Structure 1
Amino acid sequence: MSTVVEQPGGGITEAGRGGRGWLMAGIGLGAAALIGGGAYAAVHFLGSTGDQPDTVLPGDAAAYLRVDLDPSVGQKVAAVRFFQGLDPQAQARLESGEWREYVWEKLTEDGDVPADLDYATDIEPWLGDRAGVAVLPNGEEEPLVAVAMQVKDGEKALATLDKIKASSAAADTPADEQFGYYLDGDYVVLAKADQVEQVRAAAEQGTLEDQEAFTSDMDDLGDAGVASFWMDVAKVAELEDVALDEAAELGAGGAVTSGLTDEQKAMLSGRAAGALRLSPDAVEIHGLSHGYGGFSMPTADGAQLVLDLPADTAAAFSLENGADWVQAVWDLYSSVDEDGVDSLVEEASAQGFTLPEDLKTVLGSSLVLSVGPGMVEAVEGMSQTETSLPQLPVAYRVQTDADRFSTLLQDLGLPPNELAQRTDDGVLTLGLAQDYVDGVAAPQSRLGDDATFGAAVADADEAASVLFVNINEYEDRYLPMVEDEDARSALERLAAVGWSTEVTGADTSRFTLRFVADGE
């Protein structure tokens, strides 16, 4: 790794300096350019090669964010396909491959970049295809934050940064907003002026690419998509709250542990990684977690009651092994705050309940909460004078001890005969309308066989939890409230949102969030 800053003409100088605004603009340009050019421009970018930002950023990072300014051809075609309905100008620039220039123009209009910079002459000739941000704990209130931007021409990149430095100096930019930079292979690395040498020294000791935990997690993640992140939770917990907030502003790490006590932070361990991916009909965020100590996640197979809901279900939430989750969380908090847990048990007992057993009864071994079609209309049609429970298409279905559940309802002052209900093979179904409860318990067609549900919810048959919303069911309600025609056109393409988690081991899990578009 180069440890000097090369200036145009081959000279060597100390790290340069620039203002915070241009650095933020650079990150914004990279992030906004994730979806790259359109289907035609994609072919032009096929030849992109080179190292990733993790090859130059310090290996002791607590959190890392990577953006790909040149995604694969498939990702670019997907972007054009999915984002139809954008602002016409943005759509045209996206399809023509001029997305970076368009974003730069918008940043310039907002005053986020120096006015004397020209994209065609000052940025485009050197801006590469990748960028990354790393946050490192350093035992101080303010962490080290480093940004690595790939460059096609190091000398031109440094010339632009020197130009920005001069502009910043002329504007008397405060010292704490000054940034330094140095060239390392195909990347320019930027950090605050008083931290840049610490960042360089840390990278010389080893980069993220050299860390087995990082490379193993990213390999397990698979397709890194147009953007990806990684974090070591224990290291993130070392950061001060103010450091986390600043890191969140730069788009790396976020305030994951902000506000937690030292005792709560000590409970945190493990690592997490995730990726933003595009497909022709969906935007997906997929992630994983590894190695959380002190907490063993339930791994037993569940009944997956969510799959047996009616195919026209408008929204649903499900959880497998709920009783086991209650016990696992209960054991964890008992080991940390035994007095607090004992106090909670006493308070519940005074009300006639037994913890954690009653909670385990409520959640059972498999549960699903469902909302049927026509929910909004049913709510709007509710009587203002009727005292009985409204006939709404909502149901709670759980595999549990039905008799004990009924007793709990009575203890809560809600006699079971006031609710629509039925029990089938150890599965209790409760609701407000008997016809809907019967339809949920014995559907004519299954949600698990529905194409929209299958597209929105990843691996539903193995999921530990599921959240599904059929957006089309509510389209007539929310679209008229969107005044911007282009935004309304884009939102009209959204068909459904799905979330699922999968427990793959006692301390490992995966999650997937998908936004699915209507078919053409």
Structure 2
Amino acid sequence: MSENTPGQSPSGPEATEILDLGENPAGKSKKPLIIGAAAVVGVAVLATAGTVTAVALSNAGGSPAEAFPASTVAYAEIDLTEAKDALPTLRKLPSLEKELGLKKGEDPRETLFTNACDDLDFAADVEPWIGYKAAVGAVPTDAEPVFAFALQVTDESDAEAGLPKLAECGGSESAWAVADGWAIIAETDDDLATIEKAVEAGTLAEDAGFEKWTGDVGGTGFITAYAAKELPEVIADAAESGALDEAEGELAENPMGGIAPMPDPGALADTIRSAMKDFGGGAFTVRAEENAFELEAASTVGDQAKSVEAGTIAGTLPKDTTAVIAANPADGWLTTGLAGSGAEDQFTQMLGMAPGDLEKLLGDSFAIAAGEIDLSGPGSLDFGIKLDGADSADVEKFVGDLTAGFGAEGIVSVDSEGEMTSVGMGDYGKELLTDGGLAKTDKFKNAVPNAEDASGVVYVDFDGLDGLVTAEAPEVADDIEALGQLGFSAYLDGDTSRALARLTVD
């Protein structure tokens, strides 16, 4: 490592290097760290580079978690060595192939870095030292958490020469150090020193919580993220101290910001602590397989996860269902979810009922479904909701009052049979009451393999969107045509709450 501060020459191999990149506003900068951001994104795109060989990948060992302290509360890494299978699948998406330079013989890293900085010579300044892995992490302190990036480097001398040139794109001060095959980038010298000192007590790679949760999702994929059990308390402390006030200012400029104003910092902190009181950590990983991408997540079990049957009701929908959101939520799910958010009054005013009343109205489980997508008129739209365990009379009254308020009487119908109630456009509601056999289709089984045990299910069949997209958004029609299905399921596995998302490509 070397040191270089404004007005000084390098002083020695063990010091930290500070990059003064221009005028810095008073106080601690909130700007993203340009070096780390470019590095992480660069390695993400590296995961699709057609120029990387199996031989090179086999030589890329270690984990960025080795560069972070065990006290890290939030962490995300990108690992090129796990991304080889993604390339053929990504090339089936024409727009992505073009924008990221995924054609054989092209190196998408060059496109990324040269577009970010016109004066950067990728071949001379970046390519000689950039590695295959990168990560970002948050490390708690007595004040606010500090953030840092770790970038794998293949040549430390070239990295020390190349990082300052890359950093010139940022326009703010950053601190960095290169050692043991990693470049660690932080916002200030103090932040970097804090992280380096914390690493002396142990690394994240050796932490029991990190090992448990990343192991529970099958190990690291080409993208992996981890949240320590201490993360909710760190976020709550930040909210309580007013550190999130900046986010409130940004929401105030958003036309949607007034729907749910930012609650009092103390109330927000209490809500976070209450909602996450049982959180014991978690992780997710993204991996690629032939013609599919898969995201798997695992965390501690909360009350909201201790229910099933969402997949059961979703599986009874028609075989040609284009999209569905199904849930079998725990008691009080909506009331708990909105508590402390400041949105309860707006919710009640908009629907004319309290959150708890809507929970009762929806019954034990429900599935919101769309069939054939035809926007030529209200009568041609196959859209509705199927309810299990709802009071059909209450549902009919609510729908009648709601449609009357919008002048839409007669467009929506309510039907029931046994424990099932449906609300649909035209005759679609009657179709929802029968067992349509969606669960038996290969598309659904491939996209939502754990549906029978799920408390929540999302399913989209992109084949049903081809006509609509071709007519309304032809610029992305080729990409949509290449997609197969999207599936998501949340389910229990013993004492672990799991989620699985799959995106298939034809």
Measured after TM superposition, the shift of residue 466 of structure 1 is 1.6
Q: Structure 2 vs 1, CA of residues 413 and 460 (structure 1 numbering), >3 Å: closer, same or farther?
A: closer
- Aligned match of 2:273: 266
* The one of 112, 115, 121 aligned to 1:106: 115
Amino acid at match of 1:327: G
> What's the C-alpha RMSD, in Å, of the aligned pairs?
3.9
Question: Is residue 2:185 matched to residue 1:184?
Answer: no
* Distance (Å, rounded) in 2 between the aligned partners of 1:299 and 1:404: 26
Quote the residue 1:384 is aligned against: none
**Residue type of the alignment partner of 2:429:** V
What secondary structure does 2:90 align onto?
helix
CA distance in 2, matches of 1:469, 1:402: 28
- Partner in structure 1 of residue 434 of structure 2: 442
Alignment of 1:63-462 (within 5 A): 63-80=74-91, 82-86=92-96, 88=98, 90-91=100-101, 93-96=102-105, 98-109=107-118, 115=119, 117-141=120-144, 143-161=145-163, 177-194=172-189, 195-232=191-228, 233-234=231-232, 235-239=234-238, 242=243, 261-267=268-274, 268-269=276-277, 270=279, 271-290=281-300, 295=303, 297-301=305-309, 304-320=312-328, 322=329, 325-327=330-332, 330=335, 356=356, 358-379=357-378, 390=379, 392-402=381-391, 405=394, 409=398, 412=401, 420-434=413-427, 436-443=428-435, 446-462=437-453
Report the more deviating stretch, 261-270 or 306-315: 261-270
Aligned equivalents of 2:326 and 2:245: distance in 1? 32
Task: Quote how far apart the aligned CAs of 1:223 are.
Answer: 4.6
State the alpha-carbon separation in 2 of the partners of residues 193 and 403 from structure 1.
61
Counterpart Cα distance in 1 of 2:157 and 2:479: 41
CA distance in 1, matches of 2:206, 2:289: 31
In the alignment, residue 317 of structure 2 is paired with which amino acid? L
Structure 1 spans left out of the alignment, 5+ residues: 110-114, 247-257, 380-389
Partner of residue 27 from structure 1, selected from 40, 53, 68: 40
Question: Given residue 285 of structure 1, which amino acid in structure 2 is its aligned partner?
Answer: L
Q: 1:163 to 1:440 in 2, by over 3 A?
A: closer
Q: Closer, same or farther in 2 for the Cα pair 1:296/1:162, shift >3 Å?
A: closer
Kept in 1: contact 2:125–2:166 (CA 8 A): no
Letter in 2 for 1:310: P
Q: Secondary structure at the match of 2:16?
A: coil
Q: CA deviation at 1:127?
A: 1.4
Partner SS state of residue 376, structure 1: coil
Structure-2 change in CA distance of 1:488 and 1:331 (3 Å) = closer
Distance 1:86 1:331 in 2: 40
Secondary structure in 2 aligned to 1:35?
coil
The change in CA–CA distance for 1:202 and 1:428 in structure 2 (over 3 A counts) is same
Alpha-carbon spacing, 1:94–1:215, altered in 2? closer, same or farther (3 Å):
farther
Q: How far is 1:36 from its partner?
A: 3.2
Separation of aligned partners in 2, 1:509 and 1:244: 32
Shift of 1:69: 3.0
Letter in 2 for 1:283: F
> What is the CA–CA distance in structure 1 between the aligned matches of 2:468 and 2:83, rounded to whole Å?
37
> What corresponds to 2:501 in structure 1?
513
Alpha-carbon deviation of 1:71? 2.9
Aligned residues, how many? 456
Quote the Cα distance in structure 1 between the aligned partners of 2:317 and 2:399. Answer: 27
Does residue 52 of structure 1 match 2:63?
Answer: yes
Gap change, CA 1:354 and 1:51, over 3 Å in 2: closer
Letter in 1 for 2:45: A
TM-aligned CA deviation for residue 312 of structure 1: 0.8
Q: Which amino acid letter does the alignment assign opposite residue 438 of structure 2?
A: L
- SS of 2:70's equivalent? coil
Q: Deviations over 1:368-395 (max 9, x none)?
A: 122221542343xxxxxxxxxx574333
Which deviates further from its counterpart, 403-412 or 27-36?
Answer: 403-412
Q: Normalised by the size of structure 2, how large is the TM-score?
A: 0.76
What's the offset of the Cα at 1:147?
1.0
The change in CA–CA distance for 1:391 and 1:28 in structure 2 (over 3 A counts) is: closer
Which AA in structure 1 matches 2:151?
M
SS at match of 1:305: helix
Q: Aligned partner of 1:477: which letter? A: L
Contact 1:16 1:161 in 2 (8 A): no
Question: Mean alpha-carbon deviation: is it higher for 53-62 or for 362-371?
Answer: 362-371
AA partner of residue 394 (structure 1): F
Change (3 A) 1:206 1:400: same
CA distance in 1: counterparts of 2:162 and 2:400, whole angstroms: 72
Find the residue that maps to 2:185 and give its secondary structure. strand
Label 1:360 to 1:12 Cα distance change in 2 as closer, same or farther (>3 A). Answer: closer
Once residues 313 and 446 of structure 1 are traced to their aligned partners in structure 2, the CA distance between those partners, rounded to angstroms, is 10
> What is the DSSP-based 3-state SS (H/G/I as helix, E as strand, rest coil) of the residue aligned with 1:452?
helix
User: AA paired with 1:14?
Assistant: A
One-letter amino acid of the counterpart of residue 145, structure 1: F
Assess if the C-alpha contact under 8 Å between 1:218 and 1:273 holds in 2: yes
One-letter code aligned to 1:155: S
- Which structure 2 residue ranges, 5 or more long, are not aligned? 5-9, 22-32, 248-261
2:501 alignment partner AA:
L
**C-alpha separation between the residues in 2 aligned to 1:490 and 1:410?**
38
Instruction: Choose 1 or 2 for highest CA Rg.
Output: 1
Q: Could you tell me how far 1:157 is from its partner in structure 2?
A: 1.5
- 8 Å CA contact retained: 2:364, 2:390: no
1:150 deviation in Å? Answer: 1.0
Percent identity of the aligned residues? 19
Indicate the SS of the match to 1:73.
Answer: coil
Measure how far apart 1:478 and its partner are.
Answer: 2.6
| Cα distance in structure 2, aligned partners of 1:377 and 1:410 | 23
The answer as to whether partners of 1:299 and 1:504 remain within 8 angstroms in 2 is no
CA 1:307–1:229 in 2, change beyond 3 Å: closer, same or farther? same
In structure 1, how many angstroms separate the alpha carbons of the residues matched to 2:13 and 2:395?
A: 79
Distance 1:104 1:372, change over 3 A: same
CA apart distance, 1:406? 5.2
| Residue 477 (1) aligns with residue 484 (2) | no
Contact between 1:35 and 1:71, CA under 8 Å: does it hold in 2? no
Instruction: Give the alignment's TM-score, normalised by structure 1.
Output: 0.75
How far 1:118 moved relative to its partner? Answer: 2.6
Q: What SS does the corresponding residue of 2:60 show, helix, strand or coil?
A: coil
**Tell me, what secondary structure is at the counterpart of 1:96?**
coil
Given the superposition, is the C-alpha separation of residues 360 and 105 from structure 1 closer, same or farther in structure 2, using an over 3 Å criterion? closer
Name the SS for the 1:54 alignment partner.
Answer: helix
Which amino acid is the alignment partner of residue 502 of structure 1?
Answer: Y
Distance 1:106 1:286 in 2: 33
SS of 2:306's equivalent? coil
**In 1, are the aligned partners of 2:334 and 2:359 still within 8 Å (CA)?**
no
1:421 deviation in Å? 4.6
